[in-house]
Structure 1
Amino acid sequence: MKRWLKILSFMLVVRPLIIIVIGLNVYQRERLPKQGPHVIIANHNSHLDTLVLMSLFPWSQLHRVRPVAAADYFLSNRWLAWFSTNVLDIIPVHRDGSAERKDLLADCQTALKAGDILILFPEGSRGKPESMQPMKKGVYHMLKETPEIGVTPVLLRGLGRALPKGEALLVPRNCDVAVGDSIYADQTAEGFMGAVDEAFVELKAQCQGSAWLDEGL
């Protein structure tokens, strides 16, 4: 039941909204994983980020695509919790410091073992529109024991202006999505994070349109 609710929600509401109101320029879509286990990492400026990333996948894969999201926000009230668990099918992560790192990652590792495709935002929270914060090493620690699982970087550009943090009004605009080559955690944490940073710099160069506010990206 949850699978069909998810598919119908994206088919009838989410994807038409993105196509009609926002509009996407997608670069290297073919680099997206065809099956799991796999991890998608992206920069994070807007609540639209998750919806856009999920909408890139075909209906046959959508039930396997699961965002990793903050429990303190997405489970904060009854209606948002229902949407988050039944439509988005999130993997909730508790950020209050009460759990150890291994426990925070346990549900993600279970989902990967089941063949799911996870969506993570390594910055940890939404930043200012069109700027990036330093990425955290959680993805590396999650995958260092299973380095055969690929990590695909995806750069999202423009969504932070279409629906900025703290705003409820959606502003129509064209946005860019650039998909990078897979990276693997078969190296040191420093090497992995360096490869991630390089990938996002290259993806930025592939995007077209207005300049980023943060020239240090």
Structure 2
Amino acid sequence: MMLQTLRRYGLMLVVRPVARLLFGLDVIGKEKLPTQGPAIIAANHNSHVDTIVMLCLFPSKLLAKVRPVAAADHFDKGGFGSWFSRNIVGIIPIKRGAASRTEDVLAGAKQALTRGEILVVFPEGSRGEPEEMTRFKTGVARLVEFCPTATVTPVYLQGAGRSLPKNAKLLVPFNTTAVVGDPLTWTGSHHGFIDELRAKIEALKAQAPPLKWS
């Protein structure tokens, strides 16, 4: 309970104000975001700041239930960074590559859905070039297959990849826009669901306004 309170106020008073100052943040379709779990938010991935931007979309009363799924090799390497990622950002760490064949790397995310939480996932798995999307992996489809009552809300993030693109060392303030789409439900096919999700996010990209500060 104490950690939940610490996380909520850490996000409210420190992380989100700094993020909004640096990235602006315009939201289109905010009313389509889930207000309760189990639910999944799926967005394109161009920057490490994507996770923080996604947390800025939700009201403070929901922050305790919003859990970003993040790569353990980046965000759970030990020390203060790992503590901050787990206890303030609230990540669910996922192993990439090093997991054994018998290990369910999605176990933590599945448990969060069972608890009625809202997951933030990036189906590409790793960051692409600014404003470009790479191949979507099937992890989000396996999660919604596990919990078919969970809706999957697509989000297109624009601008975050220019603030801190892959391999960049210096963060540059750049206005960010989030375009939220209508939620999807489980279709019964991993690849069919992923194809539909990608098409939805591509359509949201087409709806995004022109980049500011370009």
Structure-1-length-normalised TM-score: 0.91
Find the aligned partners of 1:100 and 1:83 in 2 and give their Cα distance. Answer: 29
Q: Does 1:147 align with 2:148?
A: yes
Q: CA deviation at 1:9?
A: 1.6
Match of 2:68 in 1: 67
Match of 1:180 in 2: 181
Question: Any idea what the Cα deviations from partners look like across 1:55-84, whole Å, max 9, x if unmatched?
Answer: 111111101101111112211130111111
Match of 2:8 in 1: 7
Query: Superposition RMSD on alpha carbons, in Å?
Result: 1.7
Q: Which ranges of structure 2 fall in alignment gaps of 5 or more residues?
A: none
Comparing 72-81 with 165-174, which one deviates more in the overlay?
Answer: 165-174
SS of equivalent residue, structure 2 residue 6:
helix
SS of equivalent residue, structure 1 residue 144:
helix
Change (3 A) 1:197 1:101: farther
Q: CA deviation at 1:49?
A: 0.4
- Counterpart of 2:71, as a letter, is A
Match of 1:199 in 2: 200
- Counterpart of 1:37, as a letter, is P
Match of 2:110 in 1: 109
- Counterpart of 1:75, as a letter, is D
Alignment of 1:1-217 (within 5 A): 1-100=2-101, 103-210=104-211
Find the aligned partners of 2:174 and 2:143 in 1 and give their Cα distance. Answer: 35
Find the aligned partners of 1:166 and 1:51 in 2 and give their Cα distance. Answer: 18
Change (3 A) 1:101 1:126: farther
Comparing 164-173 with 75-84, which one deviates more in the overlay?
Answer: 164-173
Residue pair 2:11, 2:89 contacting (<8 A) in 1 also: no
How many pairs are equivalent?
Answer: 211
Residue pair 1:147, 1:186 contacting (<8 A) in 2 also: no
Q: Which ranges of structure 1 fall in alignment gaps of 5 or more residues?
A: 212-217
- Counterpart of 1:201, as a letter, is E
Q: CA deviation at 1:138?
A: 1.1
Change (3 A) 1:13 1:90: same
Question: Any idea what the Cα deviations from partners look like across 1:145-190, whole Å, max 9, x if unmatched?
Answer: 4322100111101000012222242222211100111111233223
Question: Any idea what the Cα deviations from partners look like across 1:67-123, whole Å, max 9, x if unmatched?
Answer: 111112211130111111110121111113433376112211111010110111110
Find the aligned partners of 1:67 and 1:15 in 2 and give their Cα distance. Answer: 15
Residue pair 1:43, 1:156 contacting (<8 A) in 2 also: yes
Change (3 A) 1:19 1:146: closer
Question: Percent identity among equivalent residues?
Answer: 45
Find the aligned partners of 2:144 and 2:98 in 1 and give their Cα distance. Answer: 21
Q: CA deviation at 1:12?
A: 1.8
SS of equivalent residue, structure 1 residue 68:
strand
Find the aligned partners of 1:28 and 1:102 in 2 and give their Cα distance. Answer: 37
Question: Any idea what the Cα deviations from partners look like across 1:111-140, whole Å, max 9, x if unmatched?
Answer: 101011011111011111111101011111
SS of equivalent residue, structure 2 residue 40:
strand
Find the aligned partners of 2:149 and 2:103 in 1 and give their Cα distance. Answer: 19
